[in-house]
Amino acid sequence: MNTRQHRSTDQRHRAPLRWIVAIAFVALVFDGYDLVVYGTVVPVLLRDPSQIGPLTAGQAGALGSYALIGVMVGALVAGAVGDHIGRRRVMLVGIVWFSLAMGLSSFATDITVFGILRFLTGVGVGALVATAGALIAEFAPPHRRNVYNAIVYSGVPAGGVLAALLALLASDGGDWRALFLFGAAPLVLLLPVALLRLPESPKWLLARGHVVRAHEVSERTGVPLPDTAPGEAEGKPKVGFAALATRRYALASLLLGLMSCSALLLTYALSTWLPEIMGQSGYGKSYSLVFLLTLNGGAIVGGLLASRGADRSGPQRMIVMTFVLAAAALALLTLGLPLPALLVLVAVAGVGTIGTQVLIYGFVSHYYDTVARAAGVAWCAGFGRLGGIGGPVVGGALVGAGLPPSNAFYIFAGVAVLGALVTSFVPRASTEPASAPAASAAGSRSGGGASVLTHE
């Protein structure tokens, strides 16, 4: 493709890509909102049994995990069907499902009903998280994929900031219901836009044999298509989770899952229990929520900056670095430093936990080719939620045991070190953005892993 053709494709590509990024970003804002809003209301639910009934710290941690079990189920289901029915349908169903469950949660009056609705909310969140990365990976230019992915997944910490701000404005315990009702807004604000503006991936259409539609969408969106569908040269390819079990992806999938597991344990543990832990350290409700704002604000800014480095040097190296930053910041939080220093450390911890997960989704969505991409991201999001499920439970156990807050931070720092080690052992993939342009040109000339790029 010459320079003039390349510029024409870029211009045609830009408008659809902006809509896709905007829709996926807003969807994940509400994912992050749901993640953090529960943490902001845990102190109210613990202290006021008139809300949903008497609640212990252990039960509060379990309620936080119900949503994460739902996320795991939703992500795995989305992965199972996403490579078969398409990304667009899964996104639309996820928006509707999440919004309805979140809105209904605001009317819960007992622990059982609230827990069931938290689980159902998580199912919708899982479908959105697992599908957004696959969409961005197939529409974004290879040399900008990590940046666009970071923009989309920065919606998670942005939603956390939104939840913390709205919680700060809440004047009494009863306002928690309004916070949950607000989570139903995507049904009215986002769904109509997605129905009109969210296209199906032309690469997925081609991979599934819809050649005419694939070329129509390619012309409209400017997304280039390969000359052959994935697997055409070597016979019918394995699709979805079946592809993850092949020798090509099995070891990498295990390590990527463990990597995500570490990051999500840290993300959900801190998002759920940071206000309570800091409250036990002598900071009132307003200060505790400021820590939560700082955690998510650091994740947004740091995640976007780190994604630029990931596009230049590769995401794997950057993820190791952010895990190490998280470990250092969490360990230093135990030193009883002045408030400004604590806020800086919390912001760095946000980069190394929530921001790391943003980078992980970008890494994973580019690691797999089209026929396995939704399943790969879903595996990362779903298996990783085992860590997310454990995060609130571990935090609840530590808080309930009355141990000093420093103990929790030391344990979380150890998890970050484990995440860095696991990441360093993930096999290199030829689909990394830094090498994509050259490898795409090489395509059929290169054997082994380079054939992945011909699928793109």
365-421 pLDDT, tens digit each: 888 877 777 788 888 877 887 887 777 777 777 767 777 767 888 888 999 999 999
Q: How far apart are CA 205 and CA 87, in angstroms?
A: 10
Per-residue pLDDT at 264: 87
Mean pLDDT of the chain: 79
Q: Tell me: the pLDDT tens digits for 215-249?
A: 887 787 777 776 555 544 444 566 667 778 778 88
Rounded average pLDDT over 150-177:
78
Q: Which residue has the higher pLDDT, 398 or 177?
A: 177
Share of the chain above pLDDT 90, in %: 22
- Residue entry with tokens 């994940």: 28
Per-residue pLDDT at 229: 52
Q: Terminus-to-terminus CA distance in the chain, angstroms?
A: 15
Q: Which residue has the higher pLDDT, 285 or 370?
A: 370
- Residue entry with tokens 């309620």: 63
pLDDT surpasses 80 at 27: yes
| Coil vs helix vs strand at 447 | coil
Q: Using pLDDT thresholds of 50, 70 and 90, give the confidence band for residue 431.
A: very low
Give the closest residue to 122 by CA, choosing from 103, 157, 87, 97: 97
Per-residue pLDDT at 227: 59
Q: How far apart are CA 62 and CA 59, in angstroms?
A: 5
Per-residue pLDDT at 226: 67
Per-residue pLDDT at 374: 76
Amino acid identity, position 409: F
Rounded average pLDDT over 290-312:
85
Pair 126, 319: CB distance under 8 Å: no
Give the closest residue to 133 by CA, choosing from 154, 118, 119: 154
Q: Which residue has the higher pLDDT, 404 or 270?
A: 270
Q: How far apart are CA 46 and CA 60, in angstroms?
A: 8
Per-residue pLDDT at 429: 65
pLDDT surpasses 90 at 313: no
How far, in Å, are 40, 325, 394 from residue 163 at the CA level?
A: 8, 25, 23
pLDDT surpasses 80 at 319: yes
Q: Which stretch of 259-263, 317-321, 379-383 has the lowest confidence by average pLDDT?
A: 379-383
Q: Using pLDDT thresholds of 50, 70 and 90, give the confidence band for residue 4.
A: low
Q: Which stretch of 34-43, 124-133, 425-434 has the lowest confidence by average pLDDT?
A: 425-434
> Could you state, in order of their start, the residue ranges of all structural domains in the chain?
14-454
Q: Tell me: the pLDDT tens digits for 323-366?
A: 999 999 999 988 878 888 989 999 999 999 988 988 898 888 88
Per-residue pLDDT at 420: 95
pLDDT surpasses 90 at 56: no
pLDDT surpasses 80 at 282: no
pLDDT surpasses 70 at 426: yes
Per-residue pLDDT at 85: 83
Rounded average pLDDT over 248-277:
85
Per-residue pLDDT at 155: 86
Per-residue pLDDT at 415: 92
Per-residue pLDDT at 154: 83
pLDDT surpasses 80 at 171: no
Per-residue pLDDT at 449: 35
Task: Look at phi and psi of residue 86 and say left if phi exceeds 0, alpha if psi is from -120 to 50, else beta.
Answer: left
Concatenated DSSP letters of 278-315? HHHTT--HHHHHHHHHHHHHHHHHHHHHHHHHHHHH-H
pLDDT surpasses 90 at 193: yes
Per-residue pLDDT at 42: 82
Pair 298, 356: CB distance under 8 Å: no
Q: Which residue has the higher pLDDT, 216 or 289?
A: 216
Concatenated DSSP letters of 113-180? HHHHHHHHHHHHHHHHHHHHHHHHHHHS-GGGHHHHHHHHHTHHHHHHHHHHHHHHH--SGGGHHHHH
Q: Which residue has the higher pLDDT, 425 or 150?
A: 425
Q: How far apart are CA 253 and CA 216, in angstroms?
A: 33
- CATH topology for 14-454 is Growth Hormone; Chain: A; (1.20.1250)
